[in-house]
Structure 1
Amino acid sequence: MGRYTGPKTKVSRRYGVPIFGSSKSLERKNYPPGMHGPRGSRRKQSDYAIALGEKQKLRYQYGLLERQFRRIFQNALRKRGVTGETLLQLLETRIDNVVYRLGLANTRSAARQLVSHGHVLVNGRSVNIASYNVKAGDEITIRSRRPQRQSRAHPVTRRNAANRKRTTHRRTVFAVRAPRHAFLLSGAFSG
């Protein structure tokens, strides 16, 4: 499938939040991009513009195209419960997002590349599809062909320590649990 390859800083500046991770340019230029950006402040938006902007932020943040996002939203509509929470659960249980949340990659796009190159195993089977939905109880293993080749990812933090199961010199195994209601509503999913 495709992915967004355009200017990431412009998108972050358009919405005024660091969508693709922290960016120094957003701190330096905290106004919208374009010719009229530095002059005026952000205009008052209609309700539709606000809703569209929030949807676009989610799309860019999770690295999805419109058709992929629409398919996930349709699945969330079919399930029982609050559609917004169900949508966030479906987005959070994608394998590329889980790899990012575990701290095995710096960005979601790096996590997506890890998955697509076949470095991620789910329950002992190689998964190279980034949209694969992980279920509670699945074990995620990172296949390392060469031990000296280490990712420059963040170390496993206290937030991710509950998911960690065991570590050897070659691979790390993580047990997955379902995202909690409080986790989704806390805004922790946005980073």
Structure 2
Amino acid sequence: MSKYIGPDCRLCRREGMKLFLKGDRCYTEKCAFARRPYPPGQHGQERKKLSEYGMQLREKQKVKRIYGVLETQFRRYFEMAEKMKGIAGENLLSLLERRLDNVVYRLGFASSRGEARLLVSHAHFKVNGRTVNIPSYLVKVGDVIEVDERSKSKTRFVEIKEKYAKKPSPKWLEKDAENLVGKVIALPTREDIDMPIREHLIVELYSK
């Protein structure tokens, strides 16, 4: 499946909620979803009742878009989640939260997951002292994530430090905002995920 390269705001409108894909813009009056809170297209304002399958599919698409994951990789995460102890749906969300690009975003070292993905792929971050440029890298307890020393003086990271780094992070992460360093102190749980996600619908979809 090819990567979506259209306007991010269309995705929010399609899913009927803010997915916070555009960073600061999502919090302003320029947000397309705030101005047009209905699906894009000619028939976007028509009310349509979704079937059970339709609701399951929409939930899967929503989560894929929140985390910026394509179908093949998303299916792989689900297969991993099924083999883990516990509830498959919650395991799936925990795996997605542990992606390096998401952790960078959660630490406040990027304005959005999309920007975090770009910064990671451009080798601006280290994990346990080693450069990691794979956005899907799964962190574990004890991992230390930091901005590369050579990148800290770059204009964008100076802006990030001033604007985002001091924002609160989830309780499973701790950070030194001044030095742009974070640490994984626990694995994320369902309570740590604040987006309105109905993961049981995804489990039902893949269980057919």
- After TM superposition, give the deviation of residue 144 of structure 1 in Å: 3.8
Amino acid corresponding to residue 164 of structure 1 in structure 2:
K
Please tell me whether residue 87 in structure 1 is matched to residue 130 in structure 2. no
Partner of 2:105: 100
Matched residues in 2 for 1:24 and 1:135: separation? 35
Q: Of 159, 169, 172, which residue of structure 1 is paired with 2:169?
A: 159
- Which moves more between the two structures, 150-159 or 131-140? 150-159
Matched AA of 1:30 = P
Residues 44-99 of structure 1: per-residue CA shift (max 9 Å, x gap): 11111001000000001111111110111111111111000100110000100000
Output the TM-score relative to the length of structure 2: 0.79
- Residue in structure 2 matched with residue 149 of structure 1 by the alignment: 155
CA distance in 2, matches of 1:189, 1:163: 24
Identify unmatched segments of 5+ residues in structure 1. none
Question: What is residue 175 of structure 1 aligned with on the other side?
Answer: 183
Residue-by-residue CA offset, 1:23-51 (whole Å, 9 max, x unaligned): 6211111222111223x2x3111111001
Q: What letter matches 1:111 in structure 2?
A: A
For residue 39 of structure 2, give the secondary structure of its aligned residue in structure 1: coil
Matched, 1:29 2:36: yes
Structure possessing the higher relative contact order (Cα contacts under 8 Å, 6 or more residues apart): 2
1:67 corresponding residue in structure 2: 72
The worse-fitting range, judged by mean Cα deviation, of 158-167 and 105-114 is 158-167
Question: Which residue of the partner structure matches residue 17 of structure 1?
Answer: 17
**Alpha-carbon distance change, 107 to 158 in structure 1, aligned in 2, over 3 angstroms:** closer
Q: C-alpha distance in 1, partners of 2:196/2:141?
A: 19
Displacement of 1:115 in angstroms is: 0.8
In the other structure, the counterpart of 1:8 is 8
CA spacing shift, 1:78–1:148, aligned 2, 3 Å: closer
Q: Could you list the runs of 5+ residues in structure 2 that have no partner in the other structure? A: 199-208
Q: d(CA) in 1 for partners of 2:128 and 2:14?
A: 41
Residue 189 of structure 1, CA deviation = 8.4
Rounded to whole Å, the distance in 2 between the matches of 1:31 and 1:164 is 38
CA RMSD for the aligned pairs? Answer: 2.4
CA distance in 2, matches of 1:157, 1:90: 23
Contact 2:106/2:169 (8 A) holds in 1: no
Supply the AA of the counterpart residue of 2:192.
F
1:148, distance to aligned residue in structure 2 (A)? 5.0
Task: Work out the CA distance in 1 between the residues paired with 2:196 and 2:84.
Answer: 23
Deviation for aligned residue 1:137: 0.9
Point out 4+ residue stretches in structure 1 off by more than 4 angstroms. none
TM (normalized to structure 1)? 0.86
Most deviating of 126-135 and 174-183: 174-183
